[in-house]
Amino acid sequence: MNKIAQIFDSLDYGPAPEAPDQAIAWLDARGRRFGHFIDGKWTSPGKTFTADNPATGASLAEITDGTPADVDAAVKAARAAFKSWGALSGYERGRYLYAIARMIQKHSRLFAVLETMDNGKPIRESRDADIPLVVRHFYHHAGWATHLEREFPGMVPYGVCGQIIPWNFPLLMLAWKIAPALAAGNTVVLKPAEFTSLTALLFAEICERVGLPKGVVNIVTGQGDTGAAIVDHPGIDKIAFTGSTEVGKLIRAATAGTGKGLSLELGGKSPYIVFEDADLDSAVEGLVEAIWFNQGQVCCAGSRLLVQESIEERFIAKVKRRMASLRVGDPLDKSIDIGALVAPVQVERIRDLMKKGVAEGAVVYEPEGTVPAKGCFLKPALVTNVSPANTLVAEEIFGPVLVAMSFRTPEEAVALANNTRYGLAATLWSENINLALDIAPKLKAGVVWINGTNNFDAAVGFGGYKESGFGREGGREGMSVYLKPGWEKTLKAAAPDATPAKAGASRNPLDARHLDQTAKMYVGGRQARPDSGYSRPVLGPDGGLVGEVGEGNRKDIRNAVEAARAALGWGTVAAHARAQILYFLAENLDYRRDEFAARIAAQTGDDGADEVARAVERLFAFAGWADKYDGAVHNPPLRAIAAAMVEPLGVLGIVAPDRQPLLGSVALLAPAIAMGNTVVLVPSSRAPLSMTDFYQVLETSDVPAGVVNIVTGDSLTLAKTLAEHDGVDGLWFLGSAEGSAMVEKASVGNLKQTWTSRGLAYDLAAPQFAGDYLLAKATQVKNVWIPYGA
């Protein structure tokens, strides 16, 4: 038989190799040794490490291991460049971004081949997914730069951004970091991952070619230590990191108290839910994309298959059949589905995890056939017979390994889906629109794909909930993490608190006038006595005893968090209804204004009437916001829309400032509950009685039990407990610089979002606190992708 006839007979793929010549010529022309790109110039290579091709083991180039001195030089260059770059008009910056997009597009094949050689991903993916998305990202952000002044009035860039990226999408992660940073007017020092520096270095050449002003983009190569040097450098104003949750936590701790901006895009263990009414063949194809795209080395990989029991057998059989036709091999072959993993150490890691999972009872299926003997190849694997506690279910594997479990009811699917410390993405398949749109809001993930998966676009924010990090990349949300309000940069240190008044003669605990004045805490809609059994005095400006409140402790906070979690349904109450309740609160507080004014004056000596009036106005303002601060619908260049839904953080801890005993709490409470959060509030330590009075207003205003919980006591002690509590999703702390650093550090456990005042003089009465500044901090955006117009 001749060859063509044979092919017709076997229907087998022939080789379809992509030529590496241009990429090799590019490497050769540079002597296969690279320094850093700092201040528009190439440094001579220093101490180097080798970049290998993981598909062949061949060495590609020597890459310089950046030292702290290199980082320092790059930060200095970026600082010097910031002045003029930040001062360019948005339109001028947009023109550079546009030129970068065009130039990458022009050299897209070189980028794709180099990426595949360096990373091991199939050329089909680097050519058709990674690089086109990179180009799209720069185009999109050229537009944001142009419209910055109109769309983000009053916002200014951070300054110098340190950006640290992983190896799974080397150039794409660079684009996600650099494009918005530059559009906003920042300059950057970026470190690519040690396994994959080459396309970042080629990108530096693109910056040279388009004449980007020197120092605007600096590329420093290196390993973890180089990344740490960037994080620790005092000249960096903001850190943006994508990588493992483990390193993300180190960075959270290292930046605590420094005032550096921080956005983290971390790991995931994303659920892929298939309901019994799904289009099963499409769901199988989606699954291939979800878990075997990029060899499963994707932070949002749909690595946990949850399939409805009634179709489990049929679906798993289809998956296995499909797995048998996946082609593993040379990533430069255009008809390969699964290429090489990034490095031998990753292959070993995955094998070890699999062994552990099997020892715990998992059953592994791999299709017949062989993979190339040389290079970092693994077969696709399907793992069954696992419980949620199995290592393979709980841990992020970052490889071509799918774990499958079944569920009976939609409720069970949601419970299993959310049973993870991560919250990056989720996929669900159902032909029933009601079911799909009922489940999507219940999934705790920053991105939800309905009847599709792994869709990305520059206009649509991407980022996680829970331990998958905070901040978004792409779209308006992505721009906003590179901008801050101009007034924030002008904040002065808060004046030190007046020395606490000494207890005067009347502070006699047995004094009959004071015996029954201990105000209770408020937990779960009920007055609560402190667990400690102790109370603390509240003194007036002259030292006289005004009253007593409970000395809250760890147990009281735990009870309050439990009550707040039980009340999370508040987040799904219609925004109109939440607005009504806030209006009612305003009305009832206003009704009792004299009493509240007198209480403020008694505790602080300040004009209480003015403060009450402002608190009423703030409740009114956020009642007005409750049904207006909402999402958007994006139109990505795919047959889908992405509904950007504004969701509450969940349980928000609020540690109010010492000053302004009523307004200081109400100004923070109002936006938090307007957006659907439930709150554990620690009011002013020194003047807590205004808020213990306030729960009577809460009770008369139909605020459901558990939505607002009030624990009195020492602010710092209670803040620490809140920061360490994994049931708290976000924490606002208004207090000293030291307290702020402590809160940020202690929040590492579940990576809760924090906002701290760092000892600066935030004037909560100022108009900027009556709008989106606090609303944005009280919320996170979930993008739900829905097929549309297909």
DSSP H or E run through 783: strand 779-787
Give min distance, CB of 699 to ligand ADP, in A.
48
Q: What is the largest CA-CA distance in the chain?
A: 111
Give min distance, CB of 340 to ligand ADP, in A.
16
Q: Is 411 a catalytic residue?
A: no
Give min distance, CB of 248 to ligand ADP, in A.
7
DSSP H or E run through 168: none
Give min distance, CB of 170 to ligand ADP, in A.
10
Return the number of the residue (251 or 582) whose C-beta is nearest ligand ADP. 251
Return the number of the residue (236 or 654) whose C-beta is nearest ligand ADP. 236
Closest CA to 439 of 462, 404, 411, 406: 411
Alpha-carbon distance 503 to 44, whole Å?
68
The crossing angle, in degrees rounded to 10, of helices 715-724 and 737-746 is: 20
* Chain-centroid distance, C-alpha 57: 35
Return the number of the residue (223 or 432) whose C-beta is nearest ligand ADP. 223
Give min distance, CB of 174 to ligand ADP, in A.
11
Return the number of the residue (165 or 656) whose C-beta is nearest ligand ADP. 165
Alpha-carbon distance 215 to 189, whole Å?
9
Alpha-carbon distance 516 to 506, whole Å?
15
Alpha-carbon distance 354 to 364, whole Å?
8
CB neighbourhood size of 639 (10 A)? 10
Contact partners, residue 40, CB within 8 Å, separation at least 6? 77, 207, 208, 212, 213, 214, 215
Give min distance, CB of 223 to ligand ADP, in A.
5
Question: Any idea what DSSP says for residue 302?
Answer: -
Q: Given 18, 207, 289, 299, which residue is catalytic? A: 299
Give min distance, CB of 224 to ligand ADP, in A.
3
What the block records as the tokens of 240 is 């943006």
Give min distance, CB of 502 to ligand ADP, in A.
48
Q: Phi then psi for 241, rounded to 5 degrees? A: -130, 135
Give min distance, CB of 177 to ligand ADP, in A.
11
Q: Write out the residues near ligand ADP by the rule CB under 6 A.
A: 164-166, 191, 193-194, 223-224, 227-228, 231, 243-244, 247, 250-251
Give min distance, CB of 51 to ligand ADP, in A.
13
What the block records as the tokens of 370 is 């062989």
Return the number of the residue (223 or 700) whose C-beta is nearest ligand ADP. 223
Q: Phi then psi for 732, rounded to 5 degrees? A: -110, 130
For the chain, first and last CA: distance in Å? 44
CB 382 within 8 A of CB 316: yes
- The secondary structure of 335-362 as a DSSP string is T-SB---S-HHHHHHHHHHHHHHHHTT-
What the block records as the tokens of 463 is 């980022």
What the block records as the tokens of 304 is 């946990």
Return the number of the residue (333 or 473) whose C-beta is nearest ligand ADP. 473
Q: Is 299 a catalytic residue?
A: yes
Return the number of the residue (228 or 602) whose C-beta is nearest ligand ADP. 228
What the block records as the tokens of 495 is 């004046």
The crossing angle, in degrees rounded to 10, of helices 575-591 and 608-626 is: 170
Q: Given 265, 312, 611, 647, which residue is catalytic? A: 265
Q: Which long-range contacts (CB under 8 A, 24 or more apart) does 21-30 make?
A: 22/109, 22/110, 22/113, 23/110, 23/113, 23/114, 23/117, 26/110, 26/114, 26/202, 27/60, 27/61, 27/198, 30/61
Return the number of the residue (241 or 622) whose C-beta is nearest ligand ADP. 241
Give min distance, CB of 227 to ligand ADP, in A.
2
| Residue matched to tokens 């409470």 | 669
What the block records as the tokens of 613 is 């009036």
Contact partners, residue 148, CB within 8 Å, separation at least 6? 90, 155, 183, 184, 185, 479
Return the number of the residue (66 or 636) whose C-beta is nearest ligand ADP. 66
Q: Which residue is nearest to ligand ADP (CB)?
A: 227
Return the number of the residue (166 or 661) whose C-beta is nearest ligand ADP. 166
Return the number of the residue (63 or 273) whose C-beta is nearest ligand ADP. 63
Rg, Å, the chain Cα set = 28
Query: What are the start-end ranges of the E strands in 677-771?
Result: 678-682, 708-710, 730-733, 753-756
Torsion over CA: 240, 246, 252, 255 (sign): negative
Closest CA to 185 of 490, 489, 462, 631: 489
Name the H helices within 525-574: 554-566
Give min distance, CB of 164 to ligand ADP, in A.
5
Q: 24 exposed, middle or buried (CB, 10 Å; 0-12, 13-18, 19+)?
A: middle
**Which active-site residues does the annotation give?**
265, 299
